[in-house]
């Protein structure tokens, strides 16, 4: 199970538009402005070719180093930044906090060949909403961009499990703390919805599974977010994993 996670990565080159991508729409659908940050031209070209075939996505800039990435991010305010962790002599993880500071609405997806799990966990800790390996299928990259843009996290099971393990407080009963009180407000149906969200199901799939309408599912999710005092599915998933509301599949 891949969990939708927040943030995307940046790109290379330096190309920009005078009008931020956030104002562009395609057939009534907001176009996702994407910045690519990678020091390899062949990767930038490949990503550009892939992304520009999507009618609802647009490359607003490319950068191969920190300085160019920050300049473009500040000017273009991209919705998504696709970022490599290896930028020559620079570490992409060092760039994540800076990107999020100057482009607060941007979400970062790390697209990398780095196998070091600690580096990948650190990227998530610093604010990356998604982590994808460079050998992932092209359709998975597009799907990750869409999910992260929608406010979800995109992490694999092992990385999710590792991050959740860090959040756990061993030996402490969740129902004995403040979060336990929030959980106590949930109905049985709302717990079912949370469990299905943890499986990666979308609203329609949840509705089909529970034999209810999508509208009812949305009402349940709105109630759940309010009761648990979280703002979106990303925070809900983290809360759920942390408090054993969702089982982590290994």
Which helix (H) or strand (E) element contains residue 94? helix 92-102
Q: Specify the CATH class of 3-164 in words.
A: alpha beta
- When the pLDDT of each residue in the chain is averaged and rounded to a whole number, the result is 82
Lowest-confidence region among 85-99, 167-181, 209-223: 167-181
> Contact at 8 Å (CB) between 204 and 216?
no
Neighbour count for residue 46 (Cβ, 10 Å)? 16
Query: 48 phi and psi, to 5 degrees?
Result: -60, -45
pLDDT in tens, 143-179: 999 989 887 888 877 777 677 666 655 555 544 467 7
CA separation for the pair 69, 10 (Å, rounded): 7
**How far is it, in rounded angstroms, from Cα 205 to Cα 6?**
22
Whole-model pTM: value is 0.62
The Cβ of residue 160 has, within 10 Å, a number of other Cβ atoms equal to 24
So what's the pLDDT on residue 23? 38
Give the integer Cα–Cα distance in Å for 127 and 82.
Answer: 13
Closest CA to 221 of 168, 212, 176: 212
Looking at the chain, which residues constitute the CATH 1.10.10.10 domain(s)? 169-242
Measured CA angle at 29 (ends 215, 63), to 5 deg: 125
At 73, the pLDDT band (50, 70, 90 cuts) reads very high
Q: Which residues of the chain does CATH 3.40.50.2300 include?
A: 3-164
> What separation, in Å, do the N-terminal and C-terminal C-alpha atoms of the chain show?
9
Q: Which residues pair with 8 in a beta bridge?
A: 108
* Residue pointed to by tokens 């599912």: 217
What letter does residue 248 receive in the DSSP assignment?
P
Q: What value does the mean pLDDT take over residues 101-128? A: 88
Which helix (H) or strand (E) covers residue 26, if one does? strand 25-26
What is the enclosing helix (H) or strand (E) of 66? helix 66-76
Token pair in block for residue 218: 């949305």
At which residue do the structure tokens 């790109």 appear? 11
* Count of residues in the chain: 250
11 pLDDT more than 50: no
| Per-residue pLDDT at 170 | 55
Which one is the CATH code of 169-242: 2.30.40.10, 1.10.10.10, 1.20.1740.10, 3.20.20.70? 1.10.10.10
Query: Strand 86-87 to strand 90-91: parallel, antiparallel, or no bridges (unpaired)?
Result: antiparallel
CA atoms within 13 A on the CB side of 41: 2
Q: What is the mean pLDDT of residues 37-64?
A: 95
């Amino acid at each position: 199970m891949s969990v939708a996670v927040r943030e995307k990565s940046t790109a290379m080159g330096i190309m920009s538009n005078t009008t931020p991508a956030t104002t562009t729409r395609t057939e009534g659908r907001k176009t996702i402005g994407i910045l690519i940050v990678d020091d390899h031209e062949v990767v930038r070209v490949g990503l550009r070719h892939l992304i520009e075939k999507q009618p609802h996505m647009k490359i607003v800039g490319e950068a191969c180093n920190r300085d160019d990435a920050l300049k473009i991010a500040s000017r273009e305010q991209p919705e998504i930044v696709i970022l490599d962790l290896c930028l020559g002599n620079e570490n992409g993880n060092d760039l994540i906090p800076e990107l999020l500071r100057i482009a607060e609405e941007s979400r970062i997806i790390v697209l990398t060949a780095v196998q070091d799990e600690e580096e990948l966990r650190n990227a998530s800790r610093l604010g990356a909403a998604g982590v994808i390996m460079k050998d992932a299928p092209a359709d998975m990259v597009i799907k990750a961009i869409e999910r992260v843009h929608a406010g979800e996290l995109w992490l694999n099971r092992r990385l999710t499990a590792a991050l959740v393990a860090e959040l756990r407080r061993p030996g402490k009963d969740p129902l004995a703390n403040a979060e336990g009180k929030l959980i106590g407000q949930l109905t049985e149906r709302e717990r079912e919805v949370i469990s299905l969200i943890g499986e990666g199901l979308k609203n329609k799939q949840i509705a089909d599974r529970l034999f209810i309408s999508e509208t009812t599912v949305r009402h349940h999710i709105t109630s759940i977010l309010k009761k648990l005092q979280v703002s979106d599915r990303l925070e809900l998933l983290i809360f759920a994993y942390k408090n054993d509301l969702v089982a982590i599949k290994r």
